[in-house]
Each structure stands twice: as structure tokens, then as C-alpha cells.
Amino acid sequence: MKVERIPTLGDNYTYLVIDEATNEAAVIDAPELAPVVKAIKATGVTLTKILSTHHHWDHSGANAELAEKYGAPVYGHASDHDRIPGFTNGLEEGDRIKVGNLEAEILFIPAHTRGHIAYVFPEAVFSGDTLFAGGCGRLFEGDPEMMNTALNEKLAKLPDATAVYCGHEYTESNLKFALAVESGNEELQRKMESVQKRRANAASDWHDATPDEMTIPSTIAEERATNPFMRVNSREIIASIQKQFPDTATDPVTILGHVRAMKDSF
């Protein structure tokens, strides 16, 4: 399995997942046509599927154009049949989808949107805007309970080494907030140092970003160790929340809700 990271828009990641044995590929979360076409030409692959994690335009805007150009079907959660451009095939939790000889399982992880899914390959998960490196998506169509289920009951159960390919280059800003609520986390401190070195000379135009400037992929193990939304049982994070909300409950859903609210105004 080979993954090409394609910078799109101002900070989005689009991905080309390639089965090197068959030269077949799928594109995941494509808002722009030109960068994807460029990557397909450079790699010489045959595009056979267009995959969306959710309906937001910055993850699906180029679907219809790609489908017309390459004759490939467009996949997304079944409930998003009227919201994902070019939609042809609906997916549900537990379904499997093949890219050449590669196979992904579908996780239904609503919270950011009500029809959000992740594509879980044996080596990698494509998590869209639910799980970011160091963060999670805003709760536009869901609630803290749904996000806790998505992050801590589903994604966190994936193997430690699973690579996390998320939807945006938000890592540095996410880790700044993470340090604000868990400053004593030494692994988090080390990750922030590494990320800042990578981002120090980032291209002014995201489309020109080099692999050395990208902080993605992370891993599930890294996220469990550094992501405040996956560390809702951390004593330090709970203490940080209690400084602002002295009488709050300390169950994971309540803590996640407070952490998300704090991040929204950080």
C-alpha cells in the first residue's frame, strides 16, 4: 500500500491510495481537480474509486469532475446520498471496499457531521475531520457523546501502529491547545518540538508543500499519548477543566464536551 499526500485548498489533505500490485488507486476527500490529476499522471495509476469521508465541500468538491474524467464511482455514507457531489454508492458500518487487492473496512463515526465515516485499511485509517493529529473536528451535527464514541470507543481501539491520515494540516495549532490543558505531558512536549521544526519553513502556498513540511501521518499510539480528546481520563486535563468548571462531572463525555468548547474559543 502506497499513500500519496496531495495538498489541496489552503490546508487540506487529499490522499491517493495505491495498490502497487495492480496499479489501481482510490482518491480520498478531493476538493480540487487539478492537484489530483497531477498526482494521477505522476504516479501512472488507474483511478477506480472516489471516496469521501463526509459531505463538506472541502472534502468532496471535485468528486463529480473526477467521476466524469475517470469514469469512477463515488462512495460515501449511505445517509449522505443527497449531500455528497457525484454520489453513486452508499456505505455503512462494517462494509468493506477494495482498491485493487487492498481492502478497507468502514467505521461509522458521526459527530463532526451526521454521515461521517472512516476508511480503515490494515496499515492506515483515513479519518477525515473526526480525528486530527492532536485534535478533533467541531461538533457541527453531533454531540460530545457521539465524538467520544467515535474517538475513544472506535478509533482508539485500532492497532497502535495504524497510520492516521486526517483531513487538514492543523497539527501545530492543535498541539498548542493540547499543551494549554496538559502542559506536563512530556510526550506531547516532544511532539510539539518536532512539529514546529517541520513547520518552521513551510511553503507560503500550501500547494507547494514538501513531504518534510507535512506533519501527517500520525499514528493511533501517538494520538492516544498526545491528543486531549483521546485523553479524557488524564488527571491533568480533568484538573484543567475543573479550574474553569469546579462542579463539573468527570466522566469522559462531559470532559470531552468541555475540552471541545475550550478549543472552539482558544
What gap in Å lies between CA 166 and CA 213, rounded to an integer? Answer: 15
* H or E element in which residue 193 lies: helix 186-199
Instruction: Based on the residue annotation, tell me whether 112 is a catalytic residue of this protein.
Output: yes
In this structure, the dihedral spanned by the alpha carbons of residues 101, 107, 111 and 112, taken in order and rounded to 10 degrees, is 0
Classify strands 117-120 and 124-128 as parallel, antiparallel or unpaired. Answer: antiparallel
Annotation says 29 is catalytic: no
Choosing from 56, 77, 116, 258, the catalytic residue is: 56
Q: Which residues contact 112 (CB under 8 A, 6 or more apart)?
A: 54, 128, 129, 130, 136, 137, 138, 139, 140, 141, 142, 147
Q: What is the residue extent of each domain of the chain?
A: 2-166, 171-203+212-264
Instruction: Clarify whether 58 is annotated catalytic.
Output: yes
**266 residues of the chain, pLDDT tens digit each:** 999 999 999 999 999 999 999 999 999 999 999 999 999 999 999 999 999 999 999 999 999 999 999 999 999 999 999 999 999 999 999 999 999 999 999 999 999 999 999 999 999 999 999 999 999 999 999 999 999 999 999 999 999 999 999 999 999 999 999 999 999 999 999 999 999 999 998 889 999 999 999 999 999 999 999 999 999 999 999 999 999 999 999 999 999 999 999 999 99
Find the Cα–Cα–Cα–Cα dihedral 64, 166, 117, 124, rounded to 10°.
Answer: 110
- Topology annotation, domain 2-166: Metallo-beta-lactamase; Chain A (3.60.15)
CA–CA separation, 247 and 250 (whole Å) = 9
List all residues 6 or more positions away from 164 whose beta carbon is below 8 Å from its beta carbon: 124, 125, 127, 131, 133, 216, 217, 218, 219, 220, 222, 223
Q: Which of 19, 29, 80, 129 is catalytic?
A: 129
Catalytic residue, chosen from 55, 77, 116, 168, is 168
Of the candidates 34, 2, 5, the one whose C-alpha atom is nearest the C-alpha of residue 211 is 5
Active site residue 59: yes
Candidate list 29, 58, 80, 258, residue with the active-site label: 58
Point out the catalytic residue in the list 19, 29, 55, 59.
Answer: 59
* Selected catalytic residue, list 55, 112, 116, 258: 112
- Residue among 29, 54, 77, 80 flagged as catalytic: 54
CB 255 within 8 A of CB 241: yes
Question: Would you call 258 a catalytic residue per the annotation?
Answer: no
DSSP SS3 for 234: coil
DSSP annotation of 52: -
